Structure 1
Amino acid sequence: MRSWYKAAALAAFTFGMGTGMGAAQAQIVIGQTAGFSGVVAAGVQETTDGAKLYLDSINARGGVNGQKIELVSLDDKFDPKLAGENARKLIEEQNVTAMFLTRGTPHNEAIVPHLNKHGVALIAPSTGAMVLHKPLQKNVYNVRATYQREAEKAITHLASLGISRIAVVLADDSFGADGLIGAKRGFELSKMQPVVLEKVDRAKPDFGPVATKIAQANAQAVLILASGNTVVDGYNAYRKAGSGAQLVTLSNNASSGFVKSLGENARGVIVTQVFPSERAGNSPLVREALELAKAKGKDVSPAMLEGYAAAKVLVEALRRAGPKPTRDKLGPALESMQKFDIGGLEVSYSPDDHSGLDFADLSIIGTDGKFRR
């Protein structure tokens, strides 16, 4: 038990520094578990940095109803079992008011039972898993669009360009299965079939045999439904096998860290997006984030925008929950949001719908390593 408290204190110090205070000064404690190490580390850090941009600005102005927010973030190494255990500790031992910005589909599935047991809201899980949308999860409040919507848009976009020989490779887990449903819908709408459809082990993928099939099928594009370095490994494998197919992946990989991991192969990769372009000067959300990031000497990535938008919803929920927000007040506060403007995008919840946004778009990585729309 003592080791847990030491770890929690270290996490509060490390990630609490981003919100401008230590754990002892926190008046509202929010919990997060995500893969700060492992295959999704770059994206997780950027998303969390985006949230901190907004939380820092709120805390600098005195917090919410005079109370500052402390984000306690624990590393689950992108392991679903550890994500569930971290959530339990944060809820039962740290007594967090809410969970926030948790990453991964099977990981969030492991977290939900702890939310339901204690009546704790999870705001803005960093996943587009349909299982968190339908059937309604009473304690989960999504902000971003679903993976199914992204995958469908990716396939129909490729078809609109005249690309018909499309392969699909997916991690053999709930995330991959979820994205595949959307991809299949895209194929149906486009009256096509995938030339290759293969699963790989989530933890230890072997892309050799899959890459050979992709090359032999003369695929023009490959949609890889997986996370971080797994996608990079798959891309490298089919390039090595002689395929020149276009790489397409989802917004869970929309980070500058992902671009860096692709190296010289980054140019031309298509990545779906669930928020406006980080250079969209006509977007109030983007302008706000850019201004705050500039003051800290940082650039803004799509992953950071997701975190920034999530933090705006979190803060508004806390504000609506009153002077002393509690777990049981947050649900009604969130469900009172109707067309809440986070900066050019409107978030709505109701007792029957916790979906948040449905925005989906496509980007391509340019020669400068930036996402272009």
Structure 2
Amino acid sequence: MKKWGAAMLALIALSATAEDIVIGQSVALSGPTADIGRDMRDGALAVFARANASNALGRPIQLITLDNANDRKRATENTQLLLDKHKALALFGYSSATASLDALPLVGKQHMLFFAPFSGAMDIRNHPSVYTVRASYQDEAAKIIASKREVGAVKSVVLYYDDEVGRSNHDAVVAAFASAGLAKPQGVAIKRGAPLDRAGVTALLKDAPHYVFVTTQHPPVADYLRISNEIGNNVPVAALSFVNPDELAEGVGGAARGTVVAQVMPSPTAASHASRPVVKECADALRALNGAALNYTSLESCIAAKALVVALKKAGPKVTRESLLSTMGTLGHVDLNGFTLNYAGGNRHGSNWVDLAILSRGNRFVH
């Protein structure tokens, strides 16, 4: 992937004018999840660049992306800057529930849109300013549980972060087990940002689970797979969609074989192009922007940006923070050429579509 330097980011941030439609974003552009943040930024930039080239809105869209380094305090500071200094019309594509939580009271006070956070956490989905393009973590968990149950795997242990968002994600998974009529799984909590060590892996495996259900980001998954492989106790992993499957395949290799990752977007590979033309559109737009190959993260951001352009068109040339939020509630069914979102009847969550990918031979995720 082509990585944009600080000078380019500064140019993007400083180029907005009073005539521009400013969209604010806070993601990790540094630290262990920086690849996800860059993909979230670039997938949207690819769409906005094409919209600007065609003068689709009569005014240019400017995406201002600030680095939160996966730190909640910095994310909050970024939100204040985006609202007060950059006068963002809407906030878009925040990198996680942790980065989003403290923004919600601020957007609520402004009666403005908080669109397409990269999270299925219930803690943020219940806020009236939040509209999403992806399924919830409980939707993902239900799909994983049903798939595992088909092969007789019903006993699990949940790995989660020991903080507000992590416990909420743990509870979503537990609720999905209860809905399936299965016993409550045991849980093992780790500190956000801390590595998973051998003691943590031992705790996960002590009751002989059929699989480890992971609700964390990619690094603890890689730690678990490496250590469990070293000790010869390869209990498989099933993970929520926040784990980047491409990063997992590249970073862990053969030790990750058999890992299941829930997906809330269609496959970004060429095989999806015929049935879902939006995938090819996003792949072409991203390639034109920076030469990068499309992946799940940049595809999600691309689809979200396309939906936002639809809302901006409907809101009209005199769009305000409040009118854009109101417009989102009137979009109804949005067909993005192969991926459909539904905001009809007061629904703020555009999709509950979930698929599962499994790492097979040759370090490839297949469906």
Contact 2:287/2:293 (8 A) holds in 1:
yes
**Any gaps of 5 or more consecutive residues in structure 1?**
1-7, 17-21
Contact 2:225/2:234 (8 A) holds in 1:
no
How far the C-alpha of 1:275 sits from its partner, in A, is: 1.1
Q: How far, CA to CA, are the matches of 2:249 and 2:88 in structure 1?
A: 34
Contact 1:220/1:244 (8 A) holds in 2:
no
Residue by residue, what CA displacement relative to the aligned partner does 1:301-333 show, whole Å, maximum 9, x if unpaired?
111111011101111111111113221220122
2:70 aligned partner, one-letter code: F
Contact 2:21/2:89 (8 A) holds in 1:
yes
**Structure 1 residues 128 and 195: CA distance shift in structure 2, 3 A:** closer
Q: How far, CA to CA, are the matches of 2:180 and 2:130 in structure 1?
A: 33
How far the C-alpha of 1:192 sits from its partner, in A, is: 3.4
Q: Is 2:230 the partner of 1:232?
A: no
1:13 match: 11
- The 5 A counterparts of 1:37-116 are 37-62=30-55, 64-116=56-108
Q: How far, CA to CA, are the matches of 2:50 and 2:238 in structure 1?
A: 35
Report which stretch shifted further, 230-239 or 143-152. 230-239
- The 5 A counterparts of 1:1-373 are 11-13=9-11, 22-24=15-17, 27-62=20-55, 64-134=56-126, 137-193=127-183, 196-279=186-269, 280-281=272-273, 282-295=275-288, 297-349=291-343, 352-373=346-367
**Structure 1 residues 215 and 230: CA distance shift in structure 2, 3 A:** closer
Report which stretch shifted further, 285-294 or 142-151. 285-294
What secondary structure sits across from 1:71 in the alignment?
Answer: strand
Residue by residue, what CA displacement relative to the aligned partner does 1:81-124 show, whole Å, maximum 9, x if unpaired?
21111101110111111111001112211111111222221111
What secondary structure sits across from 1:319 in the alignment?
Answer: helix
Report which stretch shifted further, 225-234 or 243-252. 225-234
What secondary structure sits across from 1:23 in the alignment?
Answer: coil
How far the C-alpha of 1:146 sits from its partner, in A, is: 0.7
Q: How far, CA to CA, are the matches of 1:38 and 1:316 in structure 2?
A: 33
Q: How far, CA to CA, are the matches of 1:250 and 1:55 in structure 2?
A: 28
Residue by residue, what CA displacement relative to the aligned partner does 1:332-361 show, whole Å, maximum 9, x if unpaired?
221110001122332233584311111111
**Structure 1 residues 368 and 323: CA distance shift in structure 2, 3 A:** farther
Residue by residue, what CA displacement relative to the aligned partner does 1:98-155 show, whole Å, maximum 9, x if unpaired?
1110011122111111112222211111111112223xx2221111111111122112
Q: How far, CA to CA, are the matches of 1:331 and 1:164 in structure 2?
A: 42
How far the C-alpha of 1:14 sits from its partner, in A, is: 5.1
**Structure 1 residues 208 and 14: CA distance shift in structure 2, 3 A:** farther
Q: How far, CA to CA, are the matches of 2:20 and 2:194 in structure 1?
A: 42
Q: How far, CA to CA, are the matches of 2:218 and 2:9 in structure 1?
A: 23
Percent identity reads: 28
1:364 aligned partner, one-letter code: I
How far the C-alpha of 1:206 sits from its partner, in A, is: 4.5
What secondary structure sits across from 2:105 in the alignment?
Answer: helix
What secondary structure sits across from 1:347 in the alignment?
Answer: strand
Residue by residue, what CA displacement relative to the aligned partner does 1:21-74 show, whole Å, maximum 9, x if unpaired?
x33597111110011122321222222222222112111212x42111111100
**Structure 1 residues 174 and 371: CA distance shift in structure 2, 3 A:** farther
How far the C-alpha of 1:205 sits from its partner, in A, is: 4.6
How far the C-alpha of 1:157 sits from its partner, in A, is: 1.2
**Structure 1 residues 163 and 351: CA distance shift in structure 2, 3 A:** closer
How far the C-alpha of 1:195 sits from its partner, in A, is: 6.2
Contact 1:147/1:250 (8 A) holds in 2:
yes
**Structure 1 residues 192 and 309: CA distance shift in structure 2, 3 A:** same
2:104 aligned partner, one-letter code: V
Q: How far, CA to CA, are the matches of 2:245 and 2:38 in structure 1?
A: 9
1:222 aligned partner, one-letter code: V
Q: How far, CA to CA, are the matches of 2:326 and 2:186 in structure 1?
A: 46
Q: How far, CA to CA, are the matches of 2:322 and 2:180 in structure 1?
A: 46
RMSD: 2.4
**Structure 1 residues 145 and 78: CA distance shift in structure 2, 3 A:** same
How far the C-alpha of 1:242 sits from its partner, in A, is: 3.2
2:3 match: none
2:302 aligned partner, one-letter code: Y
**Structure 1 residues 96 and 278: CA distance shift in structure 2, 3 A:** same
**Any gaps of 5 or more consecutive residues in structure 2?**
1-5
Q: How far, CA to CA, are the matches of 1:86 and 1:233 in structure 2?
A: 30
What secondary structure sits across from 2:342 in the alignment?
Answer: strand
